[in-house]
Amino acid sequence: MQTSRLVLRRWQPEDRVPFAALNADPIVMEYFLAPLSRAESDALVDRIEAAIEERGFGLWAVEIINGAPFIGFVGLAPVSFETHFTPAVEVGWRLAKEHWGRGYATEAARAALNYAFDKLMLDEVVSFTSVGNLRSRRVMERLGLHHDPADDFDNPALPADHPLVRHVLYRLERNERETIPPST
């Protein structure tokens, strides 16, 4: 997929080193359990690629056209745990911090949402994050996703006493998709 500034594509072997660097960055990983080791990061790439191969969609590598060959990932993934809103497909992103604040996450996630509604014909896409992750929440809001505090939940993938366990849920239904400008 391509937008005006970005390409969302399958992963390449040369993506592993910069992906490991962003996964090891404590600022990027502030709202996750912990930064990832190189082995954990490589295993994540293997799982992402296997999921794309199996389903035909997933968390695509993102590059800047005529710029950085890899800045992180953006894409779609089935929610991997059970809770009140599952089964569901999530739109998500993780970019290297030097690429924050330029609208890349929003632009690429818009393309992923268009794919979800136009190609996969999904009725709804969700996104969620830890309550304090205001940066990601702003991206969700720019994408037109809606937050209802009644949907907030404790993420069962985290320990019950973990400070990041409380999550906010944002949703976008296909019939609301006119709020998403088309991607190129």
* Cα separation, 158 vs 142, whole angstroms: 27
- What pLDDT digit, counting tens, does each position of 20-71 carry? 999 999 999 999 999 999 999 999 999 999 999 999 999 999 999 999 999 9
pLDDT at 177: 72
Nearest Cα residue to 110 out of 134, 139, 138:
139
Nearest Cα residue to 125 out of 31, 57, 61:
57
DSSP helix/strand/coil, 10: coil
- What pLDDT digit, counting tens, does each position of 115-166 carry? 999 999 999 999 999 999 999 999 999 999 999 999 999 999 999 999 999 9
DSSP state at residue 35: P
Which is higher by pLDDT, 182 or 91?
91
- What pLDDT digit, counting tens, does each position of 89-124 carry? 999 999 999 999 999 999 999 999 999 999 999 999
What does each C-alpha distance from 25 to 17, 49, 78, 88 come to in angstroms?
Answer: 13, 22, 25, 29
Six-digit token pair at 175?
A: 């019939």
What does each C-alpha distance from 35 to 21, 26, 78 come to in angstroms?
Answer: 10, 6, 22
Six-digit token pair at 82?
A: 């059970």
> Which pLDDT band, with edges at 50, 70 and 90, does 14 fall under?
very high
Specify the DSSP element, H or E, that contains 171: strand 166-173
Specify the DSSP element, H or E, that contains 116: helix 104-118
CA quadruple 25, 20, 96, 169: dihedral sign: negative
Q: Does a cis peptide bond (omega within 30 degrees of 0) precede residue 87?
A: yes
pLDDT at 178: 59
Task: Yes or no: say if 90 and 128 are a contact pair by the CB < 8 Å rule.
Answer: yes
> Which pLDDT band, with edges at 50, 70 and 90, does 180 fall under?
low
Cα 155 from chain centroid (whole Å): 16
Fold entry, domain 6-179: Aminopeptidase (3.40.630)
Cα 134 from chain centroid (whole Å): 15
